Amino acid sequence: MEVSNKQITLKNYVTGFPNESDFEVRITTIPLKVPETTQNAILVKNLYLSCDPYMRDRMSKLEGSYLDSFIPGSPLTGYGVSKVLDSTHPDFNKGDFIWGFTVGWEEYTLITATQSLFKIQHTEEVPLSYYTGILGMPGITAYAGFYEICSPKKGEKVFISAAAGAVGHLVGQFAKLFGCYVVGSVGSREKVDLLKNKFGFDEAFNYKEEEDLNSALKRYFPDGIDIYFENVGGKMLEAVLLNMTRHGRIAVCGMISEYNLEKPEGIQNLSCILTKQIRMEGFAVFDYFPQYAKFLEMILPHIKEGKIDYLEDIAQGLENGPAALVGLFSGRNLGKQLVVVAQD
């Protein structure tokens, strides 16, 4: 039985900021069964799609990257939550809910590369959509980045950029629970309020209202920054380097300010890495997937006990996916941006 399958495709490789017009809605058809000759595959109905900054890279023609480019004319792929409709894979059965990489930006996907999929132990206590965020890739990213890369100590001073984003607002809460002083930078007053009043950050500021980022950081960190959770790159990184303490750590999770530049500007002040013995380390979430079970053990009780707040920014309908995705790069989202394709 073939059914209609709405898809979001990339028209062509993108240069500079992506626009909604770089994407196209297309209707095709798909059989709702795994072909009999295809082993270890699943046919899924997609429920929630994750909009993530790293996807900007995949809109470019990549060479020698750990990521693959999107294929122009084909549907986007990424992280998502789906329901298994048919399976020839011993680990997945019809009716299972799964999350992971790589789900298509379409209603139904035949997944043959199943190595980065996780089966969801679904309960009523947490919504399935959380597996695009706090219980999925951004959650493990925040967890690995903060606990593994930042090597935090109680009482240390932590700065987070893009702090109202999917990862940033979790890192801040992890750091507060750990006993750190936490400041976040964001791009609007609304987000400043959110960090201070909802997520319990000690301080927050709107970088767009600061004439001089160095002075802003000195205001909130008179004794320096011990840990910087880096999501933006560029001028913010330059200012942070000047304000790091000796033996400070910079976890490089993203550099969203750089993604849309054709010719990125050079970064000043890198000699601070030497003079202050800073460790700066990039990391990729898939290296930490083996720790997913351990992560869930930590995070689920926090969610159930209300110790961690989580914010979703939900776009309804696949056709609104491109606007939601593009919005990440102008900072339009509050918390985790996701797209609802279907409720179940």
Alpha-carbon dihedral angle through residues 224, 228, 232, 235, given to the nearest 10 degrees: 20
Helix or strand (DSSP H, E) at 223: none
| One of 258, 291, 320, 342 touching a copy of itself (CB under 8 A) | 258
Q: Tell me the closest approach of the beta carbon of residue 222 to a copy of itself, in angstroms.
A: 12
Q: How many CA atoms lie within 13 A of 77 on its CB side?
A: 17
Cβ proximity to a copy of itself, 11 vs 247, nearer residue:
247
Q: Which of residues 215-234 bind a copy of itself (CB under 8 A)?
A: 233
Two structure tokens written together for 272: 């601070």
Q: Which of residues 127-146 bind a copy of itself (CB under 8 A)?
A: none
Q: Tell me the closest approach of the beta carbon of residue 286 to a copy of itself, in angstroms.
A: 10
Instruction: Check if the beta carbon of residue 152 is closer than 8 Å to that of residue 158.
Output: yes
| One of 68, 193, 209, 265 touching a copy of itself (CB under 8 A) | 265
Cβ proximity to a copy of itself, 59 vs 278, nearer residue:
278
Backbone angles phi, psi at 31, to 5 degrees: -75, 145
Backbone angles phi, psi at 74, to 5 degrees: -110, 160
Cβ proximity to a copy of itself, 70 vs 310, nearer residue:
70
Q: Tell me the closest approach of the beta carbon of residue 79 to a copy of itself, in angstroms.
A: 18
Q: Which residue has the tokens 């930006």?
A: 105
Write the burial class of residue 40 (CB in 10 Å: 0-12 exposed, 13-18 middle, 19+ buried).
Answer: middle
Q: How far apart are CA 115 and CA 101, in angstroms?
A: 8
| One of 32, 85, 110, 252 touching a copy of itself (CB under 8 A) | 252
| One of 32, 85, 267, 303 touching a copy of itself (CB under 8 A) | 267
Q: Which of residues 46-105 bind a copy of itself (CB under 8 A)?
A: 57, 65-67
Q: Which of residues 268-297 bind a copy of itself (CB under 8 A)?
A: 268-284, 287
Cβ proximity to a copy of itself, 113 vs 270, nearer residue:
270
Largest distance between two CA atoms of the chain: 66
Q: Tell me the closest approach of the beta carbon of residue 70 to a copy of itself, in angstroms.
A: 16
Q: Which residue has the tokens 């600061």?
A: 210
Q: How far is CA 127 from CA 70, 135, 144, in A?
A: 29, 10, 23
# residues near a copy of itself by CB under 8 A: 35
The residues that touch a copy of itself, with contacts defined as CB under 8 A, are 57, 65-67, 233, 237-238, 246, 252-255, 258, 264-284, 287
